[in-house]
Amino acid sequence: MNKSTGHKLATRCIHAGNTVDAATGAVVPPIVTSTTFEQPAFGEPGPFVYSRASNPTRDALERLVAELESGVRGLAFASGMAATATILELLDAGDHVIAPADIYGGTLRLFSEVRTRTFGLEFSFVNFCDLAEVERAIRPNTKLFWVETPTNPLLRIMDLEATVALARGHGVLVAVDNTFATPCVQRPLEFGCDIVMHSTTKYLGGHSDVLGGLNVVADEELGRRMVSMRSAVGGVAGPFDAYLTLRGVKTLALRMERHQANTMVMARWLDEHPKVEQVYYPGLDSHPQHALAAKQMDGFGAVVSFVLRGGLAEVGTFMNALDVFTLAESLGGVESLAGHPATMSHSNLTAGRRAQLGILDNLIRLSPGIEDIDDLLADLDYALAGC
C-alpha cells in the first residue's frame, strides 16, 4: 500500500515511495552495492537481476521522485545530461525537436553539436514564450517539444498548459526540464506533459555534493521504453549517489521554503539598489510573466539574476568582494552561489548569440542558499558598494 497517497508535499518528500526497507524494516533505505542478484531457481529471476537495469537503492529514489512529480515511473541517471540524452534515445534518426533558444548551455550543446551529428536528429530553437512561433516551427517529423521553465539565467516562463494543447494537436511529446522549479514548486505532468527531467545535482540533492539526473514519465508505456533505453545505454545513478540524492529530497520542501523566501527578499532589495539596472525574478510584479508564473507554479523558484551597472570590470569587483556567496558554477545547494553566465554557464555560446538572448556581460546569476537573509543582504551590499 502506498501510505503517502493524499498527503501534502512536505510529507510526501519524506514518505513517498515507501522507502522503509521491506527486508529489515530499516527506516533509511540501505545502500545496496551488489551489482548482481541471486536467481532463486533456473529460469526464475528475482525482482533484481543486474544493477544497470535496477537496484534497490536507486529504486527507492525513483519511487520517491516519481510520486512527487505525479508520474508513474522515475529513472535515476548519473547526471542531468545523461537523463536528457536518454530522452533523445526515444526518437529515431531524422526526427525533429523544437526547443527554446535560451535553454541551459549544456543541453544546447548536446542538441546542436552532438545529436545533430551522431543521430541525425533535427532541432529548431525558438522563442517558447510565443507559441505561434513554436507552431510555425512544427514539421511533419516533429516528435518532441523540449521545454525549460523557468529558464537559465533569465528566468523566463513558458506556459505548460498551452504548450501541451499545441503538442496534443500534432502528436508531439512534451518533456520539461524542471530543475529550476523542483516538484515542490511546479509539477509539469499535472498539466499533461509527458516527461519531467531534473538535474538532481541542484535542489533535489541540495548540498552540492552529488551529481545526478532523473526522468519521470506520465505513462507506463513511455516508462517501459525509457527503462529499455537506459538499460541499453547505461548512464545509471550508482547506489551511493542515489542514496545521497534520496537523503537530499527528504528535506526538499523545507529547503525550498527558505530558498524562495530568501530569494524574494533579495530580488526586491536588488530592485531598489542604485547599482542594479534590472532584476529578473518571476516573483516580482514587474516580471513580464509574473501572472503566468503565479498560475502554474506554487512559488517562484529560488534563482534571481540581475544586470549590474557597468561592465566586466565592475562584475569582477563585485564577485571578488563577496564573502558569504561563493563564486562557482551550479545552483540549488544550501550555500549561496554567484555565477557569471557570459563566462561560465553560457560561455560556449558566441558573444553575438548571448547578446541576442539578453545574456549580457554585466548579467549576474545568484542562487541564494538557506543562510540568514541579513547576512546575505549585507554581503551583497558590501560587494555592490565597491563597484
Q: Which is nearer to ligand PLP, 148 or 159 (CB)?
A: 148
- Spell out the residues 6+ positions from residue 294 whose beta carbon is closer than 8 angstroms to its own: 300
Cα separation, 375 vs 371, in Å, equals 7
All cell numbers assigned to 188: 509539469
Interaction of residue 182 with ligand PLP, rule CB under 6 A: no
* Span from 1-9, 124-132, 176-184, 378-386 in contact with ligand PLP (CB under 6 A): 176-184
- At 247 the three-state DSSP class reads helix
Burial group, residue 290, by CB count within 10 angstroms (0-12, 13-18, 19+)? middle
Q: In the complex, what is the shortest distance from the CB of residue 42 to ligand PLP, in angstroms, rounded to a whole number?
A: 41
Interaction of residue 154 with ligand PLP, rule CB under 6 A: no
Interaction of residue 289 with ligand PLP, rule CB under 6 A: no
Active site residue 219: no
| H or E element at residue 104 | none
- Spell out the residues 6+ positions from residue 246 whose beta carbon is closer than 8 angstroms to its own: 19, 29, 57, 60, 61, 64
Q: In the complex, what is the shortest distance from the CB of residue 192 to ligand PLP, in angstroms, rounded to a whole number?
A: 21
Burial 121-145 (b: 16+ CB within 10 A, else e): bbbbbbbbbebeebeebbeeebbbb
> Contact at 8 Å (CB) between 310 and 174?
no
Interaction of residue 306 with ligand PLP, rule CB under 6 A: no
Site string for ligand PLP, 187-216 (x = CB under 6 A): ------------x-x---------x-x---
Residue carrying C-alpha cell 546575505: 376
State the catalytic residue, choosing from 59, 95, 104, 156: 104
Q: Where are the beta strands (DSSP E) in 23-64?
A: none
All cell numbers assigned to 116: 545533430
State the catalytic residue, choosing from 95, 177, 194, 361: 177
- Contacts (CB under 6 A) with ligand PLP, residues 106-135: 106-107
| Cα-based angle 140, 142, 147 (whole degrees, multiple of 5) | 155
Q: Is 109 left (phi over 0), alpha (psi -120 to 50) or beta?
A: alpha
Q: Which is nearer to ligand PLP, 102 or 379 (CB)?
A: 102
Q: In the complex, what is the shortest distance from the CB of residue 347 to ligand PLP, in angstroms, rounded to a whole number?
A: 13
Active site residue 202: yes
All cell numbers assigned to 224: 517501459
* Span from 42-50, 99-107, 237-245, 247-255 in contact with ligand PLP (CB under 6 A): 99-107
Q: Which is nearer to ligand PLP, 180 or 243 (CB)?
A: 180
Q: In the complex, what is the shortest distance from the CB of residue 91 to ligand PLP, in angstroms, rounded to a whole number?
A: 18
Q: Which is nearer to ligand PLP, 153 or 299 (CB)?
A: 153
Among 29, 80, 206, 299, which residue interacts with ligand PLP (rule: CB under 6 A)? 80
Q: In the complex, what is the shortest distance from the CB of residue 129 to ligand PLP, in angstroms, rounded to a whole number?
A: 17
Cα separation, 200 vs 244, in Å, equals 10
Cα separation, 213 vs 197, in Å, equals 7
Q: Which is nearer to ligand PLP, 87 or 229 (CB)?
A: 87
User: Within its chain, how far is the Cα of 321 from the centroid?
Assistant: 29
- Spell out the residues 6+ positions from residue 187 whose beta carbon is closer than 8 angstroms to its own: 68, 69, 70, 178, 196
Q: Which is nearer to ligand PLP, 211 or 383 (CB)?
A: 211
Cα separation, 281 vs 297, in Å, equals 13
Interaction of residue 243 with ligand PLP, rule CB under 6 A: no
| Number of residues in contact with ligand PLP under rule CB under 6 A | 15
Active site residue 52: yes
* Span from 76-84, 111-119, 261-269, 288-296 in contact with ligand PLP (CB under 6 A): 76-84
Cα separation, 228 vs 322, in Å, equals 47
Active site residue 104: yes
* Span from 40-48, 77-85, 222-230, 306-314 in contact with ligand PLP (CB under 6 A): 77-85
The residues of the shown chain that bind ligand PLP, judged by CB under 6 A, are 79-81, 104, 106-107, 148, 152, 177, 179-180, 199, 201, 211, 213
Active site residues: 52, 104, 177, 202
